[in-house]
Amino acid sequence: MPVTIEHSEAEALTRITLTGAVTFPEFIQSLDVYGRRGPTRLELYDARDLKGERFSAADIDLLVDYFRQHPDRRPPAGKTAIIISKTVDLGLTRMISILSEGIVNFEIEAFESEKEAIDWLTDK
């Protein structure tokens, strides 16, 4: 599967890596599995090796609906950092963040480097 999930309870961090072509249903399925296992407060999505088509505006709406329907799948005061490599991904991530405001109990930010993302997650 093009989505891998690594859990570090010691750091309260989950690293989710997206590689190759990831369909929206595959992504939602991975969120569902991760959420049921017990999510961590901090998430790091690495989308730098993502290939192919990006999620559509309709997919983003469905993702926000998923967040709305499953508030229990994230602990309060969480943070989600997304590492991106393309400008279009920065725009999509910001769209998710804006549409999720007031719906989710965690922050979502996009970064172009892993160091920036980790520093933000860990308040450095």
Closest by CA to 66, choosing from 23, 95, 98, 25, is: 25
List per-residue pLDDT tens for the chain, 124 residues long. 588 999 887 778 999 999 999 999 999 999 888 888 888 899 999 999 988 888 888 999 999 999 889 888 888 788 999 999 877 788 888 888 888 888 888 889 999 999 999 999 999 7
Q: What order do you get walking across the sheet with 3-8 strand by strand? A: 3-8, 13-21, 42-51, 78-83, 106-111
Domains recognised in the chain with CATH numbers: 3-121 (3.30.750.24)
For the entire predicted model, the pTM comes to 0.89
Report residue 10 CA to chain centroid gap.
Answer: 20
CA dist list (Å): 12 to 3, 35, 38, 44, 66: 19, 14, 11, 11, 23
